[in-house]
Chain A
């Protein structure tokens, strides 16, 4: 385990110890023929190592846009970065060109999507795609080893000697891997075992359309395990799955973090799922972060009125126990955002200041941030 963790550090910049990813004042717009859709406004977030952060929100809150921005899959145009930066390994991802971003994907930043069937290539078998993941990882290591040979590595633990590249290749039982090669390495079969697929030899030959949703999602996680990324962005990975399969996949994702120390940005609309998997929770509304806290604080002592309303809609009692109070109104149109606090038209606590000034995201308790004048009277008026 320690060997694997050290490998990630080698790939990364050692000076960036606390955070794997740093997002600073990100602004993303989508240009339309009419007005711009302001998808993200001044979003800032630090993702520490080996941490699972749940990004929770309803449609239009910007959570998916955030995920796509990080992995560089935002279609630009029509999307436009209006400002801010995303720092990974001390480089601003937003300023990288396509080949540089491609280099990061897989082994640096990985993504798991909602529809596993459409993320896997339909014309290659599971084994071939796993082989490709191994291949990509090995080729990159080779390239970097060639480069780092010129870098002074005396600052690394002197007693640790990484096995030679030749040894690693031979040890994994791989001769010549390529996508067309149907010889599946032991590592590929092993990866399937690690995601609790009970008959990996049979599954490895299958094509994506022959797999169930849960199985396909496990294959995606297996691929992530192989490439050992520093951070995985999971965009609603269990929303399309049955609840029993979802429980299995959530368990697997926790194992992912335990085994290889990867951080996970878990994007979901489901607060209950967030409670199951996250260390920290970030609540988004209309393109902004409105509350951020540890998972215990978020569920036991949330502060923002929107979070309060959202929590209620996940706490159903029996039919004879009365009705839950619903948040009135609809999610705002991102082209025509309300003035002041974006939640104020639906907020039962709203007062005069809320429609005029826009609250900033403040840390009101250690590790607990909220953007609300009710909870943080000293909150400043931040430009909208």
Chain B
């Protein structure tokens, strides 16, 4: 996983983020043992320069927490994050602030991520003031125009309030706001999930165009495998706070090496009535509680291939094929099983 740091804009090493569930007064007074929600439990990955890493997972997988922790919006419990070779988990105060200009975020909900009492121009310019950039009025004006032009918003919308815009337009505003400080890395946390499908395509195309023009790197978080396919070169699959599979998008989607990935892909509906999802999907049960994590491999209670070792020993994330990693005791032999299952049952992509 950890190759050389050259060419990687962001690298996470064994990152952990635990939330304390029993920290209230009553719990402390009663002397209750601490209970942790292990949202991110030992995650390592890198994002290359001018590349998108897709991060796929269902609810409770930890993907949103991971996105925020990588940006240091939340302090990691353990582990480190390297930005352009520097360990930012060791930085504080002014040093950390300086790095933040290079890393930005676009949130999922365009309704709640914009201050309803601010006009568009104030929303988009706010990061400049937060970083105390000393700029002339003319410079500010031209930065604003450029940002609006990048996202396709008309100039006469400068004085309007968020409620006067549609969902898609609001998301464009959020993107313009992220771009104004010229970052090199953006975390996109489900940026189109709250939008209508026809608008989704517009925004995804916009994000791709901006990436091409500015040579940006993205961490693209989504529960939608099809969107990640469209946006990313590489992708990671998360389950129960850990990465279970990571590799090039084509490799992961066409020859998955983990039963959960296979189950996920097989459950994705295809807009073709002749390719129906077989039976109930490939997996039973539901996502486990993040507080009571299953022993051994987190996925074993739901895995159709689970054996004894899976209940006792947690599998490591290992490179099974070139640049294709999987955390499964049977990843090797799974290849064969996976291919047959895909041909037989999965509606494919």
Residue numbers of A with Cβ under 8 A of B are 58-59, 196, 198, 212, 214-215, 242-248, 250-252, 269-276, 278, 295-296, 299, 309-319, 323-324, 326-328, 330-331
Contact = CB atoms under 8 A, between A and B. Distances in A.
Nearest to B58: A242
B166 A330 contact: yes
Contacts of A272: 268-271
Contacts of B52: 319
Nearest to B57: A242
A316 B226 contact: yes
A196 B286 CA distance: 13
B281 interface: yes
B250 to A, nearest CB: 6
Interface string B267-281: 111111110110111
B169 interface: yes
B227 A316 contact: yes
Contacts of A319: 52, 208, 229-233, 249
B175 interface: no
B198 to A, nearest CB: 4
B196 A244 contact: no
B84 to A, nearest CB: 24
Contacts of B59: 242
A269 B279 CA distance: 23
B51 to A, nearest CB: 10
A317 B205 CA distance: 13
A223 to B, nearest CB: 20
Contact of A299 (B225, B233, B272): B272
A313 B201 contact: yes
Given A251-B279, A318-B250, A275 B272 contact: yes
Interface in B248-284: 249-250, 263-264, 266-274, 276-277, 279-281, 283-284
B74 interface: no
Closest 5 CB pairs of A and B: A247-B281, A242-B58, A326-B201, A58-B196, A272-B269
Given A316-B226, A319-B52, A326-B202, A244 B283 contact: yes
A274 B198 CA distance: 16
Interface string B179-212: 0000000000000000011111110010010000
Nearest to B61: A242
Interface of B: 52, 58-59, 166-169, 196-202, 205, 208, 223-227, 229-233, 249-250, 263-264, 266-274, 276-277, 279-281, 283-284, 286-287
B205 to A, nearest CB: 5
A214 B201 contact: no
Contacts, number: 127
A313 to B, nearest CB: 4
A8 to B, nearest CB: 26
A134 B89 CA distance: 58
B280 A318 contact: no
B168 A330 contact: yes
Contacts of B250: 318
A214 B276 CA distance: 20
Nearest to B169: A330
Contacts of A252: 280
B235 to A, nearest CB: 10
Given A244-B263, A247-B277, A215 B271 contact: no
Contacts of A58: 196-199
A228 to B, nearest CB: 23
Given A251-B280, A326-B205, A314 B273 contact: no
Nearest to A297: B273
Contacts of A327: 198, 201-202
Contact of B201 (A59, A246, A312): A312
Nearest to B199: A330
A271 B273 contact: no
Contacts of B249: 318-319
Contacts of A324: 201, 205, 230
Contacts of B196: 58-59, 269, 331
Nearest to A247: B281
B159 to A, nearest CB: 20
A81 to B, nearest CB: 27
A323 B205 contact: yes
Nearest to A276: B269
A246 B199 contact: no
Contacts of B277: 247, 250-251, 276
Contacts of B199: 58, 330
A273 B229 CA distance: 18
B151 to A, nearest CB: 14
A250 B286 CA distance: 15
A248 B205 contact: no
A59 B199 CA distance: 11
Given A310-B198, A314-B197, A196 B269 contact: no
B286 A212 contact: yes
Contacts of B167: 59
Contacts of B274: 296
Chain A CB count within 10 A is highest, among B58, B202, B269, B280, for B269
A236 B237 CA distance: 26
A101 to B, nearest CB: 31
B267 A246 contact: yes
A1 B173 CA distance: 56
A111 B225 CA distance: 30
Contacts of A316: 226-227, 229-230
Nearest to A324: B201
Given A242-B223, A243-B223, A313-B200, A214 B280 contact: no
